[in-house]
Amino acid sequence: MRNQNHSTRPYPTKAARVASVILFILSAVLIVVGTYGWLMGDWNLESLRHIAAEVYEARRVARSFEQPITGTVDLFGEGRGTVPLRLLSGIMNNAILLIILGITFLVNAIMFRIQPWERMKDFLCVQPALIFFLLFVYYPVVDLVRISFTDMRMLVPDPQEFIGLKNYEWLFFKTGWTRFSESLLITVRYTFWELFITLVGGLLLALLFNRMTRTFAAMRAIVFMPRYIAVATSAVVFIWILHGNYGILNYVLSLFGIKGPNWLVQANTALAGILILTGWRVIGYAMMIYLSAMQSIPQDYYEAAAIDGADAIQRFRHITLPMLSPTILFLFVTTFIASMKVFQSVDVMTGGGPGTATNVVVQWIYNLSFRDFRAARSAAVSVIFFLILLVATAATMRWSNRAVSYDS
Amino acid sequence: MKRFLGVLLALLMTLSVVGLAAADNPYDVTEPITITWWHAHEDQWHPYLEYMVNRFNEEHPLITVEPVYIGSYTEINTQLIAAIAAGDVPALCTANTSYPPSYGAAGICEILDPYIEAYNFPIEDFGEGLILATSYEGKQIVLPYLISTQVMFYNKTAAEAEGIEMPRTFDEMDAFLEKATLFNEDGTTKRYGTVFGGWDYWYYEMLFKNNGVKVILEDGMSTDINGPESVYITTKMKEWIDKGYAYYAYGTGASTNMRQLFWDGGAFSVFHTSSLYDTYVQNAGDKFEVGMAWLPGGEDGESFYSEIGGATILIPAIAPQKQKNAAWQFMMFMASPEINLYWADQTGYFPTRRSVMETPEYQEYLERKPEMNNVVSMSNWIMPRNSHPAYDTIANEWRHALYRIFNEDAPIQATLDELAMTIEEILEDY
């Protein structure tokens, strides 16, 4: 009955048309005002600089004396647009929020014209999450690109100057390239070994612990436990475990007559030292993912193969491995992305050293920002690194469509 | 009666002048306020820090200082930058002496000159070198309160027993290392002659600078890091490391490893900071007596410079004025002669106030710590750190290059040439 009413109602309804017009007007105002604030603040537009300067000064005074921003500013000269500085400061501070709200209203204005109310309700429900994503996930990425075209330095307050492609020129054609290629190579080496530990080590452990007994359940829990410990905490512990003179690892090695290296101090073993921590942390997680996938492989396949005379290796190769391929892909992609972005363990254990032996890309990005205060260069490296990860992930996914079996 | 009235009138006039002066002072604290002080002083100094803060809070009923340990100097720098970006800063912050030039260039610190003037704070009591080291473009931006410099700690007991004399100049290093180094029968080093602190350029840079290397030349655009003097010093250091005479401490825990090596008798001497004098003495315990010597000077025998180290205290410029006023009171307290000497005595840093050095308490302090005399007597040679805002970045690149030369056998001249290119490119940006 309700559906029949709905189908006979003229569409869009009058209420929807009114709402659409109101939202359209609101969106236009928000987008224009927000863009104005954005151009004045983040983009440091030359024609608006004198107004921005008044806002910065008013903010400084207000902050200094812990009072609200006071005074007005004449936007267009000759008293044609006198606006309170407090309002203008608020617009500059919230420019992005205003633009995003404006875009949201615009989308809603259009949707009201083309969608029935029942569908609009669903769309309205997901909008808070969409706004959250736009503001806290996608906008920072966009802003990172903007910063990479400026001369922003962490220590120098606003405003920033636009310098075009200079940061990218430094990165690709000047000294930035030496450090970038070096860091990228170290990161790839690290990633390769973490992938190896996760995919191969995790699989071997999963095969070992693929028993549903209480003892094995307890052992699985023990292996998985390091995942729950904060990286920084375990990194501090591993600094001591790997200490050249007093570390327990070298002590154990010495029991077998092996003289262990000074793990984190020697350039040729520092990355291996970090990978020991990584392995300890990730192998249990990979094992659990593999185990859950193994449990879902129907026993019929194994029984049929056994009847056909397949041995354990053949069963593993022709049943387990193909059936695990989606899991392997999942672990590959998630581990690849996470390991390319490795930072915490490196920062705590070696700080990128000794020398630049463990200076992975994210550590370098961090140092550029917080040690050298070159935020813009740091942003340029981040943008390129982001693109590399994007292309690598997309290529993996494309390749996986051919290689992975989703047959259950 | 007339006389009494006259005295009363004079008294009232004096009081009113003082009162007016006080009321006119825009930096006075007039209402209760709590301020936060971010510092980098580790656990072992917390009792002394607590004593000072409690004493200040008692003496200044309107102000409550809350000290917060943030972490190392590097961490506190990172946190401060993040706090400034967020617009929410502490009223006071400790900073290593390497940071004020960058902070000054960026306008991060409150200019202290008006406060100094308003309170007639005797800034000249710090001496010219310290004032220079804590100013930016002639403006006072931080106050020095814990000052140290580079020195060599050595095993005095072994030196006396084996007749080893500490090197006065760089060209005496060869003979010194030859005598101070002991080898095992298999040719490995039993006791290093010295250890260079390779985790921070501050510990070795004076070996270069006293021999004429400037790192950044006067034009502010070029470097002499690949020049003959720099190549010569680098070659000598590499030679000593390769021969097993010297150990280059770097990587995770390098500072701890170096100290332990010294206390265990694995090193005759180490290049380190004078602020750790007490730590070295306490940990050497009864095993041996610790000596503290000035760094070897230049080969010309005329340059014996060292650089200022330690901590300064600053007020972030964007802090609210009321917080700044309270912070300034605490700064004056921390830099007062009595507290200055107390800090020095408890920590191993130098007193920074000249007037302190004339007090009987200071003489008594020197009698208790006679090795401090070796440093204090040379304090005229302590100079400010390089104030170029890019110096820290450049020096870190230098550190990486030296690491490659000393540990990966990278060719000296080629590596320093490459470093020079990097440095000049960095300088182009400033």
B47: which 2 tokens? 């009792």
Q: Give the domain extent around B403.
A: 149-306+380-428
Average pLDDT for residues A338-367, to the nearest whole number? 92
Is residue A408 situated within a structural domain? no
B260: which 2 tokens? 């332990």
Residue A10 binned pLDDT confidence (cut-offs 50, 70, 90): low
Residue B10 binned pLDDT confidence (cut-offs 50, 70, 90): low
- Return the percentage of chain A with pLDDT > 70, whole number: 94
Residues A334, A288, single domain; the answer is yes
Residues B98, B139, single domain; the answer is yes
Residues B225, B136, single domain; the answer is no
B136: which 2 tokens? 């930016």
In chain A, the number of structural domains is 2
Contact B250 A155 (CB under 8 A): no
Residues B180, B314, single domain; the answer is no
Min Cα distance A170 → chain B (Å) is 9
Residue A405 binned pLDDT confidence (cut-offs 50, 70, 90): low
pLDDT for residue A206 is more than 50: yes
* Whether B155 contacts B172, CB under 8 Å: no
* Whether A244 contacts A261, CB under 8 Å: yes
- Return the percentage of chain B with pLDDT > 90, whole number: 57
Is residue B19 situated within a structural domain? no
Q: Is B22 on the interface with A (CB under 8 A)?
A: no
Contact A157 B392 (CB under 8 A): no
Q: What is the pLDDT of residue B109?
A: 93
Contact A155 B252 (CB under 8 A): no
Contact B320 A65 (CB under 8 A): yes
A153 neighbourhood in chain B, CB within 8 Å = 106
Q: Give the domain extent around A207.
A: 170-403
pLDDT for residue B178 is more than 50: yes
Helix (H) or strand (E) holding A312: helix A312-315
B126 secondary structure, DSSP code: G
Mutation target for B interface from A42, A56, A151, A155: give the one with most B CBs within 10 A. A155
pLDDT for residue B46 is more than 60: yes
- B214-234 pLDDT, tens per residue? 999 999 999 999 999 999 999
Which bin fits B132, alpha (ψ -120 to 50), beta or left (φ > 0)? alpha
A265 neighbourhood in chain B, CB within 8 Å = 250-254, 257
B74 neighbourhood in chain A, CB within 8 Å = 371
Residues B315, B391, single domain; the answer is no
Report the mean per-residue pLDDT for chain B. 89
Q: What is the pLDDT of residue B4?
A: 55
Q: Is B186 on the interface with A (CB under 8 A)?
A: no
Amino acid letter, B285: G
Residue B19 binned pLDDT confidence (cut-offs 50, 70, 90): very low
Min Cα distance B119 → chain A (Å) is 20
Q: What is the pLDDT of residue A14?
A: 85
Residue B236 binned pLDDT confidence (cut-offs 50, 70, 90): very high
Is residue A158 situated within a structural domain? no
Min Cα distance A243 → chain B (Å) is 9
pLDDT for residue A273 is more than 80: yes
Contact B408 A175 (CB under 8 A): no
Residue A404 binned pLDDT confidence (cut-offs 50, 70, 90): low
Residue A20 binned pLDDT confidence (cut-offs 50, 70, 90): very high
Residue B2 binned pLDDT confidence (cut-offs 50, 70, 90): low
Crossing angle of helices A231-241/A267-295, nearest 10°? 130
pLDDT for residue A254 is more than 50: yes
Q: What is the pLDDT of residue B20?
A: 44
Min Cα distance A240 → chain B (Å) is 10
Residue B419 CA to residue A255 CA, distance in Å, equals 44
Cα distances from B233 to residues A2, A117, A136, B204, B418, in angstroms, run 91, 80, 52, 10, 17
In chain B, the number of structural domains is 2
Residues B325, B348, single domain; the answer is yes
Residue A394 CA to residue B348 CA, distance in Å, equals 58
Residue B269 contacts by C-beta under 8 Å, 6 or more apart in sequence? B152, B153, B154, B155, B166, B180, B193, B194, B195, B262, B293
Is residue B88 situated within a structural domain? yes
pLDDT for residue B287 is more than 60: yes
**Buried/exposed code over A169-199 (b: 16+ C-beta within 10 A; e: otherwise):** ebbeeebbeebbeebbebbeebbebbbebbb
Q: What is the pLDDT of residue A344?
A: 93
* Whether A96 contacts A33, CB under 8 Å: no
Q: What is the pLDDT of residue B365?
A: 87
The model carries a pTM of 0.80
Q: What is the pLDDT of residue A61?
A: 87
Residue B139 contacts by C-beta under 8 Å, 6 or more apart in sequence? B104, B111, B112, B113
CATH code where residue B277 lies: 3.40.190.10
Residue A2 binned pLDDT confidence (cut-offs 50, 70, 90): very low
Contact A264 B251 (CB under 8 A): yes
- A213-228 pLDDT, tens per residue? 777 778 778 888 888 8
Q: What is the pLDDT of residue A9?
A: 58
Residues B350, B394, single domain; the answer is no
Residue B334 CA to residue B310 CA, distance in Å, equals 14
Average pLDDT for residues B158-177, to the nearest whole number? 96
- A169-178 pLDDT, tens per residue? 999 998 889 8
Of A310-324, B299-313, B339-353, where does mean pLDDT reach its minimum? B339-353
Is residue A162 situated within a structural domain? no
Average pLDDT for residues B237-263, to the nearest whole number? 92
Would you list the DSSP string of A17-47? HHHHHHHHHHHHHHHHHHHHHHHHTTS--GG
Helix (H) or strand (E) holding B152: strand B143-155
Cα distances from B70 to residues B39, B73, B74, B142, B200, in angstroms, run 6, 9, 10, 19, 20
Min Cα distance B355 → chain A (Å) is 35
Q: Which residue of B has its CA nearest to A246?
A: B257
* Whether A377 contacts A166, CB under 8 Å: no
The better pLDDT of the pair A263, A1 is held by A263
Residues A234, A110, single domain; the answer is no
Residues B259, B331, single domain; the answer is no
- A145-186 pLDDT, tens per residue? 999 999 888 776 666 888 999 999 999 998 889 889 999 999
Listed as own residue / partner, the contacts of B257-262 with beta carbons closer than 8 Å and 24 or more positions apart are: B257/A244, B257/A245, B257/A265, B258/B195, B258/B197, B259/B283, B260/A245, B261/B192, B261/B195, B262/B153, B262/B155, B262/B195
Residue B8 binned pLDDT confidence (cut-offs 50, 70, 90): low
